Amino acid sequence: MKMAAVLLAAIVVAALLLPPLLPWGYAAIDWDAVRTPAFSPGHVLGTDSVGRDLLARTLAGTRVTLAVATAAALVALVIGTAWGATAGWFGGRIDEFMMRIVDALYALPFMFVVIVLMVVFGRSVLLVFLGIGAVEWLTMARVVRGQVLALRNRPFILASEAAGAPARAILTGHILPNIASVAVAYLMLTVPQVVMVESFLSFLGLGVQEPLTSLGILVHDGADDMDIAPLTLIVPGFVLVATVVCLNRLGEGQRSRMAR
Amino acid sequence: MPCDKLRANGLADGRVIAILLRRLATALPTLFAVILLSFLLMRAAPGSPFDSERPLDAATRAAMDKAYGLDRPLIVQLGRYLGHVLQGDFGPSLVYKDFTVSGLVAQGLPVSLTLGGLALVFAAVLGIAGGIIGALRPGGWLDRWIAIKSAVAVALPSFVTGPLLVLIFGLWLSWLPVSGLDSAASWILPVIALGTPAAGAVARLTRAGLAEAMAQDHVRTARARGFSPLTVLLRHALPPALIPVVSYLGPAAAGLLTGAVVIETVFGLPGLGRYFVQGALNRDYPLVLGVVILYAGLILFFNLIADLLYGLLDPRVRG
Amino acid sequence: MTLYAVEGLGLTLGSARLLDGVSFAVAKGGCTALVGASGSGKTMSCFAPFGLAPGILSGSARLEGTELVGLGEPALRPLRAGVGFVFQQPLTALTPHLTIGSQLAEAAGNRDRAALAAMLDRCGLPAAKLDQYPHRLSGGERQRALIAMATAHEPSLLVADEPTSALDAGLRHAILDLLDRFREQGKGLLLVSHDLPLVARHTDRVVVLDAGKVIEDGRAADVLKHPQHEITRALIAASPRLDSPAPILPKPGAPLLSATGIKVAFRRTLAVSEASFDVREGEALALVGRSGSGKSTLARAIARLGPCDTGSVTWRGQPMPVRARMKPEHRRRLQPVFQDPAASLDPHWTVAQSVEEPLRHLFPDLTPEARAERAAAALDEVELGTAFAQRRPSELSGGQAQRVAIARALVADPELILLDEATSALDVLVAGRILDLLAKLQQGRRLAILAITHDLAVARALCHRIAVMDAGRIVETGDTAACLAAPQSQALRDLVRAG
């Protein structure tokens, strides 16, 4: 797990601090160097089909991907926790109703709905957030609801009621702290999921738009050019996979520590 | 006799049927909601399907709208559409002029289903086998190696693996076909690209499930009885361990259908996903609607199967 | 004739020495019981020689002449098949997704239905159970099924680890009678139990363990009637016995709590129907019954900690709302103590925070200093020093955690305490000390007590009156001593006989 944290930290630090040190920005076009291989003058990893520095673009794409992923995951966390905690706390009919909705939504081919939304309403970053958040909050809701249900009838909650605590106090004082660690663990697992979803959308041309770039767009462009400049596919692909693997590892490490 | 078994466990009047009905009760409204949602979205979209390079003038547009029934009130359009859908008629494609949506679906669906099905089988077989092999010697080098491979597999999106496989096996090594469906071998790369993340997930779920099952009391009882480790693992530990796998495979089928969209594009396969993306970009309403409804139906169906399997693996669920 | 002889058995795990020089023997047709407090090593001594416990073994264990210590897993497996193991928790010991019949067939190595039916019949189960899954059988039936599986291949030695502790009192002797029948066929029985009356009735030899060492060993009658070692004496004293002298209880005063016609229904089953009782100031009422009789549901309904459908409750004549939320002034009067001490404290809160919680909500006018003072006073009363105030539940033992729970219940100065199986989850020695504490508090504070328990000896130790519940109804009430001496209802008779 330490290796994952170190690698991820390296990627993040590189994405944030390295660009000012590079000779070429991510959008700048070097007319003399189109599709150059690695270690060409001024371009450590070569350039893409238009002459933009691959390293700079990869780092820029990483920044965007991670930013979108973290924000969307937080959206999913807030919505999912509110929904799940309410369902778990009240139980009975309310719980059944709320979770039926979650079950029904789970069955939807969400990706398709998101794609349709993108096509219909144009490609805005806000829509990317909403779309992705809409897909991911379901799992969070289920997890939180399960935890709250399990806690609901524990003796210390009953004792708190006997001590006269109102529902609000019990939720904030007892329930939330006890589910916080699980919620955080799932949050850490949601971020890589969102990375995958965002990259998928970008790959299809439906996510983030120019001049911004993301790892998904880079992989798409790289796939187009891979016969001549394979690095344009391999580099962003590797960074994407490595980021997701590290995030997954960290999230799971957190989750197994919680289970104890 | 299986009937006696069912009856002995209080299933004479079929709690299984109750589960099925309950699932359907959720599934049908969901399907309807999907249809409604897609329908409204498409109608709400700015622009018209007939705008190609520049918008049409009012008169031509009015004529086209009338011909395709797009000038009636929304409710009426919805009603007519539903009526047709129930008869299996999704209307004509607005962009592929000579085809009906049902025709396109009939062409593309078998390809997509085969792709998805093969990927699911690939994922299940490879994943479960991997999990079992790892669990035979917990903590051993094979166990750890499989764990690492699974963790990486899960993080490999199909749109990265696909092009990479094309690059390596198609362009550099020329071992396997990378486009079209000319031979049986054409399926190999697409299925691997599509199924790898799911295989990784299944392997981890199986391994984790086995780890937990092996720590249960009943496994200790089985070991105390002197059964061989393989018997203990396969007969006593594996079925409950597979429960989370089955729960996963339901939504996994949905993910595979989604991923198939990309794979079909990358490998040039004439499946439904490709039509869907084209339809979405070209505002081909009937096509998009038809595909969405179809996929929703398929996913609901897979989830139902998963529920039934769940009941088989854990009798306690049946009551 | 010695069937199984263990000599100088040692078990080391890491740096801990779990067993040290343990020796005992089981004769053919005989029964040897290993007793001791939890953690004394009784279970380890049984399972370690057969490779079912982690750690490094030393010493000797000979089963019918074959030495077990030092054998590897492949050699142990066939030997294990020759021993019948019966475990503590029947539900989890059975594989949930296989029918009883297929598990029995697996154990017997024989699929013949008639033979399997005969095995079940030998243990008092009908042949129809062969097709059922474990979760459909009751606790007693499951244990019988486990015994059938353990004896299916006619082992010469039966090892039973607390085979009855998860069962109701009524079933315990029945299960042990069943095991006795196997002894008559010449099998040896190695029994682990903390239930001394049970041991007294069914075993020949008793071996007392403490911290991994044998401290006393001899014939059952000798050890239990004339214990030599002080730990043995403490164990015997801590086991509640029905023939101990009646306690001196404080005199009850004016009527305090009165419940009439309480009804609680879950979905379609009636958990409690038409239950009525009353409690006076300073009086202790025991609500006893088998598990599932509705005692907990009734008590929680009265305390508004669980659902209640109809009925009325009055406190000193004033009605208390049965379906609405309880007001703070009502809550102050009635405080609960639950069964599982670890689960009744929030794992993230310190002891001080948990004990002060009732004060924060029920006495909002108190300053933080006043609160802290009252909390400290409560901790003193339960014999925990101020050093405990900043600890968290994970740093407390079972007994200490239960004391904290009692302190929390006392801090609001209640007039009635609800004890919901407050000692059932505790080790037998610890439970004894908690009972002593409760008796002391009862005297000192003139506390009224509503004690829910399935253990009659607890009722005997604390309570003036007893109310017996069966299937949701109160079937008998009256003076504790009188009722126990001459029980009127079948339910109470069963409980008395089993205890």
**Domain ranges (residues) in chain C:** 2-238, 255-498
Question: Which candidate in C97, C135, C162 is best for mutational testing of the B interface (most B CBs within 10 A)?
Answer: C97
Does A17 reach chain B within 8 Å, measured CB to CB?
A: no
Q: Name the residue facing A162 among C305, C343, C354 (closest C-beta).
A: C305
* pLDDT tier at B42, thresholds 50, 70, 90: low
H helices present in chain A, as ranges: 2-17, 54-90, 92-107, 110-121, 125-152, 155-162, 167-170, 176-204, 215-225, 231-259
Residue A22 burial (CB < 10 Å; 0-12/13-18/19+)? middle
Q: Which residues of chain A lie closer than 8 angstroms to B251, CB-CB?
A: 106
> What pLDDT does residue B44 have?
65
Residue range C2-238 forms a domain whose CATH class is alpha beta
Neighboring chain A residues of C345 at a CB cutoff of 8 Å: 156
Compute the distance between CA of residue C426 and CA of residue B169 in angstroms, rounded to an integer: 66
Residue B314: per-residue pLDDT:
64
CATH of the domain at A255: 1.10.3720.10
Task: Name the residue with tokens 């299984």.
Answer: B16
How much of chain C, in percent, has pLDDT values that exceed 70? 96
B102 vs B70, higher pLDDT: B102
Instruction: Please give the Cα distance from C360 to C382 (Å, whole number).
Output: 20
Instruction: Indicate yes or no: CB of A233 within 8 angstroms of CB of B30.
Output: no
Q: Across residues B134-138, what is the average pLDDT?
A: 84
Candidates 3.20.20.150, 3.40.50.720, 1.10.3720.10, 1.10.580.10; correct CATH number of B110-273? Answer: 1.10.3720.10
Q: Which two tokens stand for residue C22?
A: 């343990």
State both tokens at C227: 């214990």
Q: Is residue A140 pLDDT above 60, yes or no?
A: yes
Query: pLDDT category, B70, cuts 50, 70, 90?
Result: low
Å between B46 CA and nearest CA of chain A: 7
pLDDT score for C403: 92
Which residues of chain C make contact with A156, given a CB cutoff of 8 A? 343-346, 354
* Chain A residues touching residue C331 (CB < 8 angstroms): 162-164
Is pLDDT of B1 > 60?
no
CA distance B240 to chain C (A): 7
CB contact under 8 A, B41 and A248: no
Q: Which of C77, C133, C149 sits opposite B315 (nearest CB)?
A: C133
Residue C242 has pLDDT above 60, yes or no: no
Nearest residue on chain C to A178, alpha-carbon basis: C348
pLDDT tier, B312 (very low <50, low <70, confident <90, very high otherwise): low
Q: What is the pLDDT of residue B319?
A: 42
Q: How confident is the model at residue C163 (pLDDT cuts 50, 70, 90)?
A: confident
Average pLDDT, whole number, for chain C? 84
pTM above 0.80, yes or no: no
CA separation for the pair A116, B249 (Å, rounded): 25
Q: Tell me whether the CATH fold assigned to C2-238 matches the one assigned to C255-498.
A: yes
Give the gap in angstroms from C-alpha A174 to the nearest C-alpha of chain C.
Answer: 7
Contacts of residue C328 in chain A, CB cutoff 8 Å?
164
ipTM score assigned to the predicted complex:
0.71
- Provide the CATH topology of domain C255-498: Rossmann fold (3.40.50)
Contact of B205 with C80, CB cutoff 8 Å: no
User: Using N-to-C axis directions, what is the helix angle for A125-152 and A176-204, rounded to 10°?
Assistant: 150
- Chain A CB contacts of C358 under 8 Å are 162-164
Give the whole-number percent of chain A exceeding pLDDT 70. 93
Please tell me the total count of domains within chain A.
1
- Name the band, by pLDDT with cuts 50, 70 and 90, for residue C376: very high
Q: Which domain holds residue A245?
A: 2-259
The chains found to touch C (3+ Cβ pairs under 8 angstroms) are A, B
The answer to whether residues A109 and A52 touch, using CB atoms and an 8 Å cutoff, is: no
Which among B265, B243, B256, B264 has a CA at the least distance from the CA of B311? B243
Mutation site, A156, A157, A179, A260, interface C, largest C CB count within 10 A: A156
Using CB atoms within 10 Å of the CB of residue C306, give its burial: 0 to 12 exposed, 13 to 18 middle, 19+ buried.
middle
Poorest-pLDDT segment among A242-251, B84-93, B153-162: B84-93
Inspect the interface and report whether the beta carbons of B220 and C128 lie closer than 8 Å. no
Interface of C with A in 353-372 (CB under 8 A): 354, 357-358, 360-362
Name the nearest CA neighbour of A95 among A172, A139, A148. A148
